[in-house]
Structure 1
């Protein structure tokens, strides 16, 4: 049985007329007539009787119409299933997460990825923004979250949200403070990552403009290690709200916003701008952006 002929028969039966069906399908009536006639020859049955207003189904025609609807529905379901399989993301995607957010994003990202893309594989790498940008440029990574990336024609940058830098220190030392002026930061011994890391670049750029001498006493390229040293009384840190919350709540530490001026860092989603992103990377990027907004909603709402 020719499926196209079966579809032609169903359209004529539902329209009650060859001319109406031909008009709805935008085909010539003789073509439709030949298709239905070929079906009748194949089945060795007469499917229609002509009336003054069109055509009526014979008993064989009524039986075939019932089967025909089921056949067309089954074919449509098969097509949808195959299309869904083709469009379902497959393969492996590598995502870079900054230390300030990695702990808070890892489980939600794994949960969402497993739920939405069960046939794909996800790899996550933690790294500072400068490293994630380098890995993305070299092809070692598919996409990531970075803070205030440098413009690069090879990298597509999509701003997600803004976060302010805060002074983080022992709770007892910061008790009663509702903020700290940038001009006063020179009296705080600071624990900061190595030169080139984005938070340090933002701080040093503003220090130059404000003519403030920052007292960097230790260089440590690990957010958990920086916070451990702050707990140990070795100094203070200048990090985002999410950096502290990303390591879990800790009553021994406190944060106060840096102001006059505020130091703002923009969290961005980055991916290659030189090659078309496959469905897996596009879907993962959408999921990652959505989760980052959810996780940082409290912090971003304070700006």
Structure 2
């Protein structure tokens, strides 16, 4: 067993596909298959079940994936620890971005990262805040931008900025300065599935205000939600930043929700168990700077 085999297995398991892992690692697919077969032979266990749609993990595969994450994390920490003596960011870091900000921040993040940290490797993953909090605790992710995270002892959070939720509708609403929360019952809403942060905030306030929200479509993709609003299928409750990266912003209106306003706090989150390194610190500072460039209202450092 060697590190390359472990890394190969982890990528195949996470992507659920040999072909996707081959593209990600820039290695021929037959070579990946041989590495996984060699690993299975050495361990005398079937790790993956091949199907027409990709691969699924066996119980042994799931256990090895947990070990694989820990092994890859220890290797990355070793590289970073040696580089930290020179205070030089080295190694690999996985950063998670929420769907409302991913398109807006990915390009500037990669642009600055590549210039300021040329000896480090960056991977960007898009995900909802509730999922990314879990990925931080399991070691699949190093840093993440998350909205209004629930307190967890395994995750450290640093507030960056506050954003208000707005009603997103057709451009014909642009002259409307605000919408009262109680009026939202009149709008057919397109919202993510239950558990997503923005929906939890809306439903919590709806309970307090005794307002019945009319959710007509559940779609867990911000770009798709905005496309549906543009198509006239309903309205959305999102932050203004979700709209800022849209190609056709003039086709939609962003109306602040008031009485009461719904505020979401964007935070930088990282695992409380993971040692801080130059790479983590520099990337965290970069994320904060990029967020505050686009911030509606930055929070002051305490």
TM-score normalised by length of structure 1: 0.69
In structure 2, distance between residues paired with 1:153 and 1:109: 28
Distance 2:160 2:125 in 1: 19
Q: Which runs of 4+ in 1 moved over 2 A?
A: 83-87, 246-249
Would the aligned equivalents of 2:170 and 2:232 in 1 still touch at CA under 8 Å? yes
1:143 is matched with which residue?
A: 143
User: 1:172-191 alignment to 2 at 5 Å?
Assistant: 172=172, 174-191=173-190
Sort the Cα spacing of 1:118 and 1:239 in 2 relative to 1 into closer, same or farther, 3 A: same
Q: What's the offset of the Cα at 1:179?
A: 0.5
Root-mean-square deviation (CA), in Å?
1.7
Q: Hey, what's the Cα distance between the residues in 1 that align with 2:85 and 2:130?
A: 37
Report 1:37-56 matches (<5 A): none
User: Which position in structure 2 is the counterpart of 1:106?
Assistant: 106
Aligned positions of 1:1-303 closer than 5 A: 86-172=86-172, 174-296=173-295, 299-300=296-297
Quick check: 1:104–1:295 contact (8 Å CA) kept in 2? Answer: no
Give secondary structure in 2 for the equivalent of 1:195: coil
Distance 1:186 1:128 in 2: 25
Q: Unaligned regions of 5+ residues in structure 2, if any?
A: 1-82
* Partner SS state of residue 191, structure 1: strand
How far did 1:85 drift? 8.2
CA distance in 1, matches of 2:84, 2:254: 48
Are the aligned partners of 1:105 and 1:295 in contact in 2 as well (CA < 8 Å)? Answer: no
Following superposition, the deviation at residue 266 of structure 1 comes to: 0.1
Secondary structure of residue in 1 paired with 2:297? helix
Confirm or deny: 8 A CA contact 2:84 2:277 kept in the other structure.
no
Give the distance between the partners of 2:262 and 2:87, measured in 1 at CA: 43
Contact 1:192–1:238 (CA under 8 A) maintained in structure 2: yes
Q: Larger Rg: 1 or 2?
A: 1
Question: Quick one: distance in 2 between partners of 1:106 and 1:122?
Answer: 11
Residue in 1 that maps onto 2:45: none
* Residue 249 of structure 1, CA deviation: 4.6
Structure 2: distance between partners of 1:120 and 1:227: 35
Aligned counterparts of 1:183 and 1:129: Cα–Cα separation in 2: 26
The number of residue pairs the alignment matches comes to 217
What TM-score, normalized by structure 2, do the two folds share? 0.69
Output the CA distance in 2 between the equivalents of 1:177 and 1:275: 47
- Gaps spanning 5+ residues in structure 1: where? 1-82
- Tell me the CA shift for residue 276 of structure 1: 1.4
